[in-house]
Amino acid sequence: MDTKWIKAYYNARGLQWADQKSALLFFLSEVGELAEAYAEVEGAILTSEEKDLMERFAALGLEADEIVSRKPGWIRNNDRLRKQNIAHEVADCNMMLSVFMESCANLSPDNALREKMALKLGCSSSDLERLLEPYILI
């Protein structure tokens, strides 16, 4: 995700940009919220083992949230209620992963994935699109 939109959103809401450790903790918190939402919406199709896993992810996400919320200047803007919107939780994960990547490596997750794909395919990043074009499914 292009962080210029995230930065504009943060500015519009009066939020501060997270350092890499805080961004990673926020990301882990969001993964916990996603697990919680998924278990709530799709719980009927989950095995007991999968439900247990989702509960553990949710608990660890809450723990990450509690840790990062103690940092001066951070205000939790979601009370972890109403988790039924999986798409919004995925979007939050994407946003915080993007913030982490920029804070940590000055790179977007999309660009990092393109670099990894090119490396595995033995081509340059600039040649990746041309190389993958014949494989795009319509």
Query: Which is nearest to 111 in space by CA: 102, 123, 120, 121?
Result: 102
Q: Which of 15-19, 55-59, 99-103 has the lowest mean pLDDT?
A: 15-19
Domain boundaries, the chain: 3-107, 108-138
Task: Provide the whole-model pTM.
Answer: 0.86
**pLDDT tens across 40-54, in order?**
999 899 999 999 999
The residue assigned the tokens 């992963």 is: 97
Using pLDDT thresholds of 50, 70 and 90, give the confidence band for residue 71.
confident
Give the Cα separation of 103 and 83 in Å (integer).
Answer: 27
| Average confidence score pLDDT of the chain | 90
DSSP secondary structure of 90-119: HHHHHHHHHHHHHHHHS--HHHHHHHHHHH
91 vs 76, residue with greater confidence: 91
Handedness of CA 46, 52, 58, 61 (dihedral sign): negative
